[in-house]
Amino acid sequence: MANGEIIAGFLAPHPPHLVYGENPPQNEPRSEGGWEPLRWAYERARKSLDELRPDVLLVHSPHWMTHVGHHFLGVRHLSGKSVDPIFPNLFRYNFELTVDVELAEACCAEAGKAGLTAKMMRNPNFRVDYGTITTLHMMRPQWDIPIVGISANNSPYYLNTEEGMEEMDLLGKATRRAIEATGRRAVLLASNTLCHLHFHEEPAIPEDMSREHPENYEGYKWDMRIIDLLRKGQTREVFRLLPQFVEEAFAEIKSGAFTWMFAAMGYPEIPGELHGYGTVIGTGNAVMEWNLVKAGLAGRGAASGYRPAPAYAGASY
């Protein structure tokens, strides 16, 4: 029996400004830098990822939003130019990636068994969304690790936050079962910003950091509260507060990646490592890591990492 496991999860937000600031060869626009503290945060995350040496990266992105169920990229090689429709001046990125189709199919099948509507995306001309691309570039610019790309079903918006998070909880658990069954050492990437209140105008020089700050003080305080709880390992309390955080800070957490990731990891009550926090056009972004190997919850001789779901995640599966 295959003994795959999740070895880490990262909160890995996707503002394209970070790619723009880095000036990688794949991105057409050129910058003078910008958002350095957040990019340095990602450098620390990259180092950790390098040490973890996973077989696969799974990413759940809010910018592939689907109406009919949860979708999984199902074509082995995908390439193209990803252009951000909101920030085309910053992000026009030539991507090429490899999908772990076997794992994606296993995740899809497990999601179906859990009662979710799930589909495989098999169109070879599909353009991968810019959220997925940005998160993957910032975490692993070498693009040498296969990926599984997962859509954000719109249930939190179409239904309500709580019902949506129940679906993401089921999806996360299904993801875990698929990873275990296929023998992968997997890292999960939750592509989410925290407070998503933002400016409505862009500075003339986008990377002018004298114009960068939290858009909203209450939103900033929420971000700090959540990060503080996560740093202390108070996962249950975070999930208790999640609906209120979403409501009051317009948190992008609502789209489900964060819940998916934590459900897959088993809601571990372990401290998350904050690699860094910064704002991008006023939104709050944290790069954080839950290293299950260091916590003794993954790797050889690890104790079971499973914890029961928080009370609001009422799925009984």
By CB under 8 A, name the binding residues for other proteins.
Answer: 64-69, 81, 83, 85-86, 88-89, 92, 117, 119, 121-123, 125-127, 129, 151, 155, 158, 198-202
Distance in Å, CB of 88 to other proteins, minimum: 5
Nearest 5°: the CA angle 252, 172, 127 is 60
Read off the tokens for 39. 């990019």
Distance in Å, CB of 95 to other proteins, minimum: 11
Distance in Å, CB of 236 to other proteins, minimum: 30
Which CB sits closer to other proteins, 235 or 255?
Answer: 255
Distance in Å, CB of 28 to other proteins, minimum: 8
Which CB sits closer to other proteins, 129 or 289?
Answer: 129
Distance in Å, CB of 84 to other proteins, minimum: 9
Q: Which residues contact 200 (CB under 8 A, 6 or more apart)?
A: none
Q: What is the 3-state secondary structure (H, E, C) of the chain?
A: CCCCEEEEEEECCCCHHHHHHHCCCCECCCCCCCCHHHHHHHHHHHHHHHHHCCCEEEEEEEEEEECCCEEEECCCEEEEEEECCCCCCCCEEEEEEEECHHHHHHHHHHHHHCCCCEEEECCCCCCCCHHHHHHHHHHCCCCCCCEEEEEEECHHHHCCHHHHHHHHHHHHHHHHHHHHHHCCEEEEEECCCCCCCCCCCCCCCCCCHHHCCCCCHHHHHHHHHHHHHHHCCCHHHHHHHHHHHHHHHCCHHHHCHHHHHHHHHCCCCCCCEEEEEEEECCEEEEEEEEECCCCCCCCCCCCCCCCCCCCCCCCCC
Which CB sits closer to other proteins, 127 or 221?
Answer: 127
Distance in Å, CB of 117 to other proteins, minimum: 5
Which CB sits closer to other proteins, 53 or 67?
Answer: 67
Which CB sits closer to other proteins, 16 or 268?
Answer: 16
Which CB sits closer to other proteins, 65 or 241?
Answer: 65
Distance in Å, CB of 128 to other proteins, minimum: 10
Sign (positive or negative) of CA dihedral 41, 79, 187, 58:
positive
Which CB sits closer to other proteins, 235 or 279?
Answer: 279
Which CB sits closer to other proteins, 202 or 269?
Answer: 202
Distance in Å, CB of 174 to other proteins, minimum: 16
